Amino acid sequence: MKQVTIENDVLAIKVALLGAEVQEVKSLKDNFSYIWYADAKYWGRHAPVLFPFIGRSYENKYLIDGKEYNMKQHGFLRDRVFKIVDKQKNKLVLQHSATEETKLVYPYSYTVTITYTLEDTYLHINYEIDNNDAKDMYYSFGFHPGFNLNSDLSNYSLQFEPKLNSLPTLLVEPNPFRNGKIADTQLQNGKLELNYPMLDNGVKIYDISDIKTVSLISCRDAHQVTEDIADFPYLAVWSPENKKAPFLCVEPFRGLPDQYGKTIDIKDKLGEQHIAANSNDQFTVSLNFK
C-alpha cells in the first residue's frame, strides 16, 4: 500500500493511504522511531484511525431507529483507502467519503478529512467529519497509536496534566466490553505508574474530561511523547494481553465500546458523538515527540 512521507528539520512521518494510518514517526536527530513498527506476533498495526465505532459492538450488531446493522470491531475506516487532497513538504491532507458499500453497515453519507502537519517537534492531526445527510448522524472516533518501548513497561509511566489525584475508570468486563461500572484510579501527583499485569485483563479506559495532556515517560530513556488530548473525553491504554509486547497504545477516544449484554440504538450509546444534518465536527490531537 502506498505511503506518503512528510518531514521538517526534526521529524519524518510516513502515512499510508490505507486507513490514513501513521506508519512511522522518526527523529532525524538520532533516528529513533516512536511508532510501533507492526509485528503480527503482537499486533499488526501501527496507529489506526477508528471510525465509526470504537471497540466491539455486542454480538457485532447495533441499531438505528430499531433497524439492525452489522459492525465489526473498531469500525471500517482503518481498512479504507484515502485520497490525497493536498501534499506539501510538512503537510498532508487525506480524505475518504461514504460509499454504497459502507452504507450497507453504516447508512450515513459522510466525509472524513485528516490533516497531518509538522511543526518543530510536533505532529498536529486535525480531523474533520462532515455529515452530508439531511438527517442527524451518530459516530464514535478514536486514534489508536502504538508507541515503541525501549525497556520493560514497568520503567514507564503516564503523566497527566493537570495533576489530578485520580481518574474515573470505565471498567471493562468481559474484555473488550464495558460492564457499566465506574471506579477511581489513583494517581501520584498526576502520574500513573505502568506495568504489564495491569493490562493483562484487557484495555483500560479513563474519563479524561478534566485532562489536557498525557505524556508517556520512561525512567531509563530520554525519549517521550506528549499527546494534547483536550478535544477527547476518554483515553484508552492497551498492550496485547499476556504478551509483554514492546509497545504501548495510548489512545484518545471520542466514544466507547459497547456495554456487554446490550444491543442498543446508536443514539443511546454512552459517549456517542452527534452531528446535525449538513454540519461537521472538527477536533485535533497534537503529539510532541522528544
Ranges under pLDDT 70 in the chain? 1
CA-wise closest residue to 158 among 184, 205, 193, 197:
193
Cα 160 to Cα 211: distance, rounded to the nearest angstrom:
7
Three cell numbers at 64? 438505528
Question: Is the Cβ–Cβ distance between 159 and 212 less than 8 Å?
Answer: no
Amino acid at 252: P
Residue 262: predicted pLDDT: 84
Place of cell 513498527: 37
Amino acid at 261: G
CA-wise closest residue to 127 among 137, 116, 139:
116
Question: Is the Cβ–Cβ distance between 120 and 90 less than 8 Å?
Answer: no
Three cell numbers at 9? 528539520
Four-way CATH pick for 3-289: 2.60.120.10, 3.40.50.2300, 3.90.950.10, 2.70.98.10: 2.70.98.10
Domain extents in the chain: 3-289
Question: Is the Cβ–Cβ distance between 98 and 88 less than 8 Å?
Answer: no
Three cell numbers at 269? 450509546
**pLDDT tens digit sequence for 9-64:** 999 999 999 999 999 999 999 999 999 999 999 999 999 999 999 999 999 999 99
Three cell numbers at 45? 498495526
Beta 49-50 vs 141-143: how paired, if at all? antiparallel
SS3 content of the chain, % helix, strand, coil (to 5): 5, 50, 45
Cα 185 to Cα 288: distance, rounded to the nearest angstrom:
25
- Helix intervals (H) in the chain: 100-103
